[in-house]
Chain A
Amino acid sequence: MTEPDAEFHRRRNSRALVTAVLLGAFVLLIFFISIAKMQH
């Protein structure tokens, strides 16, 4: 694999990981917002 190929895979993987973490955090946030709105 050439250097730009390796960099392409590294960036794609790190973006996928960050996106997954942010989506997970977003789902959790919506869950907690729903609970807070029901109690408020």
Chain B
Amino acid sequence: MTDAAIPAQQLPADWRDFLALTKPRVMSLVVFTGLCGLLAAPVALPAVLGFTTVLCIALGAGAAGALNQWYEADIDALMKRTAGRPLPAGRMDRQSALHFGVGLSFLSVILLGLATNWLAAAVLAVSILFYVMIYTVWLKRRTPQNIVIGGAAGAFPPVIGWAAATGDITLLPVLMFALIFLWTPPHFWALALFIESDYARAGVPMMPVVAGERTTRVQIFLYTLPMAACALAPWAMGLAGAIYGIAALIGTALFLALSAQVGMRQSRADDGAKPERRLFYYSILYLFALFLALAVDRMMAA
């Protein structure tokens, strides 16, 4: 090391920036649904292997988040919500983010394959590729249906958890997948309704930007209907018991009511988009509660 002063922009990224690259807050829901898929499975894994499964799901989600930020640094810089991320803020170079994301992807898939089975590892690999290639690279900048199809990437974790425990994929993990898949559009479009201007500035064709507010509100409600059917299906088909059934009935009824409220109203400049914010935050609580109820229900029945 010479004594010459180092320009601030050439400083190595801090480890906290690498952590931020993995989108830890988004990861929490992914990890939780993956854990619930694991716990809902009829086969109990040894604790170490269960822990490794959840760790690999977290690492895979982190890898996908890092690759997403690597690719989207230009549009992240245009949105208030994302401008402070390591790449647009200039705290990290793009190559480091790419290497980190690719390395983490391989590590998570190989470790999961070695610790549990290669079906679970394959589903994890598909989920990372789906999020990066299908959602981030292909759909996000091209169509308002981006989060409808891209939502599948976030729906894989319970399937991975289940497959890690059992080595197969049956109807219940498919229903868990479908629930998250159909939950994603109302969740993200509610968010898009109150940060619409941010997406418009970045040129991201979110539904409110392209199709308008009225269409988005109707679509939110319409997607909630099949989501409700998927939420109730495990109980109706005898795959889950009363604990899940009661949680699904009450939680889904409230979800329907909130989405109907959002679907039928027109926003006013002074209302602070309260119903949309309420639906967005409730949708997070809803998914946590439903998966928790399913895991508890299945564990008590075992």
Contacts and interface: CB of A to CB of B under 8 A. Distances in A.
B6 A33 contact: no
B5 A29 contact: no
A32 B46 CA distance: 11
B52 A29 contact: yes
A7 B48 contact: no
A20 to B, nearest CB: 11
Contact of B14 (A11, A29, A33): A11
Interface residues of A, number: 19
Interface in A10-40: 11-12, 14-15, 18, 29, 32-33, 35-37, 39-40
Contacts of A5: 3, 5-6
Nearest to A18: B15
Contacts of A39: 46
Contacts of B15: 14-15, 18
B5 A4 contact: yes
B7 A8 contact: no
B7 A4 contact: yes
Interface size range on B against A: 10 to 19
Contact of B6 (A4, A29, A35): A4
Given A2-B5, A5-B5, A11 B11 contact: yes
B6 A36 contact: no
B46 A8 contact: no
B5 A15 contact: no
B48 A33 contact: yes
Nearest to B107: A26
Contacts of B49: 33, 36-37, 40
B237 interface: no
Between A5, A14, A39, the greatest number of chain B beta carbons within 10 A of the residue's beta carbon is seen for: A5
A29 B49 CA distance: 10
Interface in B31-81: 45-49, 52, 55
B250 interface: no
Contacts of B52: 29, 33
B295 to A, nearest CB: 21
Contacts of B14: 11, 14-15
Between B3, B15, B47, the greatest number of chain A beta carbons within 10 A of the residue's beta carbon is seen for: B15
A12 B273 CA distance: 45
B95 to A, nearest CB: 16
B48 A15 contact: no
A27 to B, nearest CB: 13
24 contacts: A1-B3, A2-B5, A2-B6, A4-B8, A4-B11, A5-B5, A7-B6, A7-B11, A8-B6, A11-B11, A12-B12, A14-B15, A15-B14, A15-B15, A29-B52, A33-B52, A33-B114, A33-B115, A36-B46, A36-B47, A37-B115, A40-B45, A40-B46, A40-B49
Q: Which 4 A-B pairs give the minimum distances between C-beta atoms?
A: A36-B48, A2-B5, A36-B46, A18-B15
